[in-house]
């Protein structure tokens, strides 16, 4: 009885171990290639710093006194030892606002991409897997969404839903969904005909389970690369909407709205415009470096 049990369980455990080993080795191989890419490591380093600053912002500065509280006697002070990036028109420390602003930008970038991932990957994977008329309908709807310039669509959505951080995330997320529908569909199409998918179908596995367990894990690398690059674009898009006055409501320290507020003082106090813009650029640059590095590491054939 015991011997029989051992006999039947052994091949399964070997298979499981080999699967785990395969997954680990694939991850290690990608990481080994990624860490040779100086740009990607620089990007990763910058992103870790920005993320740590965002997480520990309340430890470094006080939200109430440094970020929100107005101090008219301290207004428009140029960069100094006390205020490294100067103070704004309401006497608030610009660096403190930039550090807290990282929380908004990163959160908006990541959540909006998660929103577009949920919708994009669901519809894209379903379209690629089911095919036929269903695929046609999904892809035509995607065509319709992609023909509207994405920033204009985001502007329209946020103006209809009202100004709030969540609505900004929804607007940016919806406007970048078509990209993920296309990426997920293409990725699913590339593995749909593989033997392991046919075997799963042959043993009577349900379609949604095949997509979830067998197809998506094999497409995940392409989706991750696209997601990293889209977070970068989402940060720029959300800063743009805030710049137009359609983003995070004042007095929250969002980078785009800080740029917009600094515009009026650009002649004599250009630091109000320079520093928040630099913060956006550095964060977006780090994500672009990681995205490019990941793409090369995951698919070395694409490397130039």
Partner 1 sequence: MHRYIFKRLLMLIPVLLGVVFIIFFIMDLAPGDPVYMVAGDQATEEELDALREQLGLSGNIFTRYFRYVNNMLHGDFGTSFVTKRDVFKTYMERLPNTIRLASLAMIIAIVVSIPLGIIAAVHQNSLKDTASMVLSLLGLSMPNFWLGLLLILVFSLRLGWLPSGGYTGFRSIILPALTVASGLAALLTRTTRSSMLDVIRQDYLRTARSKGVTERKVINKHALCNALIPIITVFGIQFSNVLGGSALAETVFSWPGVGRLVVDAINQRDIPTVTGALVMTTMLVSIVNLVVDIVYAYVDPRIKAQYTK
Give alpha helix (H) positions in 89-215: 94-130, 132-147, 150-161, 165-175, 177-192, 195-202, 207-209
- Minimum Å gap between C-beta 197 and partner 1 is 30
Note whether 304 binds partner 1 by CB under 8 A. yes
Note whether 170 binds partner 1 by CB under 8 A. no
Helix (H, G, I), strand (E, B) or coil at 93: strand
Note whether 143 binds partner 1 by CB under 8 A. yes
Note whether 149 binds partner 1 by CB under 8 A. yes
Which string of x and - marks every residue 277-296 that binds partner 1 (by CB under 8 A)?
A: x--xx--xx--xx--x----
The one segment of 68-76, 86-94, 185-193, 235-243 that binds partner 1 by CB under 8 A: 235-243
Looking at residue 78, what DSSP letter applies? Answer: P
Q: Is the dihedral of CA 286, 287, 290, 293 positive or negative?
A: negative
Question: Applying CB under 8 A, which of residues 20, 245, 264, 300 lies at the interface with partner 1?
Answer: 245
- Minimum Å gap between C-beta 179 and partner 1 is 11
- CB-based burial of residue 14 (10 Å sphere; 0-12 exposed, 13-18 middle, 19+ buried)? exposed
- Per the CB < 8 A criterion, the answer to whether 88 and 76 are in contact is yes
Q: Cβ–Cβ contacts within 10 Å for residue 241, how many?
A: 27
Question: Applying CB under 8 A, which of residues 96, 231, 239, 298 lies at the interface with partner 1?
Answer: 239
Q: Which residues lie across from 93 on neighbouring strands?
A: 87
Note whether 164 binds partner 1 by CB under 8 A. no
**Whole-number Å distance between alpha carbons of 168 and 157:** 8
**Whole-number Å distance between alpha carbons of 266 and 83:** 18
Q: What is the residue whose two structure tokens read 């379903």? A: 126
Question: Applying CB under 8 A, which of residues 47, 236, 252, 298 lies at the interface with partner 1?
Answer: 236
- Minimum Å gap between C-beta 151 and partner 1 is 4
Note whether 25 binds partner 1 by CB under 8 A. no
Residues forming the site for partner 1 (CB under 8 A): 140-141, 143-153, 155-157, 159-162, 232, 236, 239-240, 243-246, 256, 259, 263, 266-267, 270, 273-274, 277, 280-281, 284-285, 288-289, 292, 304
């Amino acid at each position: 009885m015991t011997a029989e049990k051992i006999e039947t369980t052994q091949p399964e455990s070997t298979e499981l171990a080999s699967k785990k080993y395969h997954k680990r080795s694939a991850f290690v191989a990608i990481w080994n290639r990624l860490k040779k890419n100086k740009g990607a490591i620089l990007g990763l380093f910058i992103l870790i710093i920005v993320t740590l600053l965002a997480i520990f912002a309340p430890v470094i500065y006080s939200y109430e006194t440094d970020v929100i509280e107005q101090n008219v006697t301290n207004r428009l002070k140029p960069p100094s030892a006390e205020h490294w990036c100067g103070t704004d028109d309401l006497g608030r420390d610009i660096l403190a606002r930039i550090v807290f602003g990282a929380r908004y930008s990163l959160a908006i970038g990541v959540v909006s991409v998660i929103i577009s991932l949920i919708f994009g990957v669901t519809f894209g994977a379903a379209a690629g897997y089911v095919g036929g008329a269903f695929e046609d309908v999904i892809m035509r709807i995607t065509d319709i969404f992609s023909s509207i310039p994405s920033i204009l669509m985001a502007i329209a959505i946020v103006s209809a839903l009202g100004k709030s951080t969540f609505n900004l995330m929804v607007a940016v997320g919806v406007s970048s969904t078509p990209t993920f529908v296309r990426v997920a569909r293409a990725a699913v199409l590339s593995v749909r005909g593989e033997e392991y998918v046919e075997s799963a179908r042959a043993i009577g596995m349900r379609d949604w389970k095949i997509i979830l367990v067998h197809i998506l894990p094999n497409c995940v690398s392409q989706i991750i690369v696209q997601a990293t690059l889209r977070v970068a674009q989402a940060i720029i898009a959300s800063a743009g909407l805030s710049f137009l006055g359609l983003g995070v409501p004042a007095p929250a320290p969002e980078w785009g709205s800080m740029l917009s507020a600094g515009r009026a003082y650009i002649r004599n106090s250009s630091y109000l415009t320079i520093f928040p813009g630099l913060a956006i650029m550095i964060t977006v640059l780090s994500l672009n470096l990681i995205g490019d590095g990941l793409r090369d590491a995951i698919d070395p054939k694409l490397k130039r």
